[in-house]
Homo-oligomer: A and B are copies of this chain.
Amino acid sequence: MRVLITAGGTTEKIDEVRAITNHSTGRLGSLIADYFYEAGATEIVYICSEQAKRPKHIQKMRELPIVSVQDLYQTLTKELISASFDIVIHSMAVSDYYLEGTASQDVLTTEIVKQLNQHPDMSQEEAVKQGLELAFHEMTSANQPKKMSSALPTVYFQLKQTPKVIRQIKKIQPHATLVGFKLLVDVDSTELVQVASRLMEKNDADYVLANDLSQIKGDQHVGYLLQQDGSYTLFQTKQAIAKGIVEATMKGVN
């Protein structure tokens, strides 16, 4: 039985000293990895961020560290292409956006006004959108500073959507059992289960672990493990979730 697990959270660099991070301790992923090891998995690949909690048995696993979404995308794709996996657990909190560029208020305003005046043929909407694109694009070339200036009263960031990493998994390995994760904040359980079902469908996942940040406190961790037929199992602790995921997915493999 070969298992691939992602754990922790990605970090998108702003400059050499600043970053946009996704909180995630990686603790749940580390527990899942340990349960798989104890259940006799022959190979476990553990893709994780630097800060992520490592499994107890990490020495018996292959650890692949990543930082950004792009790192994760490349590392995961390479693994999935080079060997087949029975089970893939994608528990990493992946940034939905990367930083395209930064701009001061003056640069942004000047570029928008320039586009408005240079393109009388365009609608104002189009000219403003073009100005926004160009202002940030200009800042992202080789002249991007190594440390952002701290002297500006107002700064703007432009963030672009990252490709959905989870979507790759079944495309490359349609026969793997895939578990996706959906974290929401302070919603009711009906909404949580609905959103998780959509994630399952879009990404061809076999299970989705749906959870709500407001119901996570240390090892107390409410989680709904959804199956494709719409049924789910409710767990109350990280340990129970981890064990539940390992047992459910191993059934499919045997």
Query: Chain A: residues with CB nearer than 8 A to chain B?
Result: 14-24, 51, 93, 95-97, 100, 105, 108-110, 112-113, 116-117, 124-125, 128-129, 132, 146-148, 150, 152-161, 183-186, 213
Residues of chain B within 8 A (CB-CB) of A116 are 116, 124
B129 touches A105 (CB 8 A): yes
A–B Cβ pairs within 8 angstroms, 15 of them:
A16-B213, A17-B93, A18-B20, A21-B21, A97-B155, A105-B132, A109-B132, A110-B125, A116-B124, A147-B213, A152-B161, A153-B160, A153-B161, A155-B158, A155-B159
Q: How far is the CB of A139 from chain B (nearest CB, A)?
A: 13
CA distance in complex: A113, B158 (Å): 19
Chain B: minimal CB distance from A216 (Å): 11
In the complex, what's the smallest C-beta–C-beta distance from A28 to chain B, in angstroms? 14
How far does the Cβ of A134 sit from chain B's closest Cβ, in whole Å? Answer: 13
Contact present for A186 and B146 (CB under 8 Å): yes
What is the CA–CA distance of A162 and B55 in the complex, to the nearest angstrom? 39
- Name A's interface SS: mixed
CA distance A117 to B193 in the complex (A): 44
Residue contact B161 to A154, C-beta cutoff 8 Å: yes
Complex contact B150–A128 (CB within 8 A): no
Of B108, B147, B183, which one neighbours A17 at CB under 8 angstroms?
A: B183
A93 to B, closest residue via Cβ? B17
Distance (whole angstroms) from the CB of A192 to the closest CB of chain B? 12
Chain B residues with CB under 8 Å of A97's CB are 150, 155
A134 to B117, CA, bound (A): 22
User: Contacting A185 at CB < 8 Å: which of B17, B112, B158?
Assistant: B17
Q: Write the nearest CB–CB distance from A177 to chain B, whole angstroms.
A: 24
- Report chain B residues within 8 Å CB of A15: 185
* B146 and A185 contact, CB distance less than 8 A: yes
- Closest residue to A145 on the B side, CB-wise? B185
**Least CB separation from A103: chain B residue:** B156
A155 to B117, CA, bound (A): 25
Q: Do residues B14 and A18 form an inter-chain contact, with CB atoms below 8 A?
A: no
With a cutoff of 8 Å between Cβ atoms, the chain B residues found around residue A128 in the complex are: 108-109, 112-113, 128
CB contact between A22 and one of B18, B24, B161 (< 8 Å): that residue: B18
Partner of A156, one of B51, B150, B153, B156: B156
A162 closest partner in B (C-beta): B150
Closest Cβ neighbor of A17 among chain B residues: B23
Do A125 and B96 touch across chains, with their CB atoms under 8 A apart? Answer: no
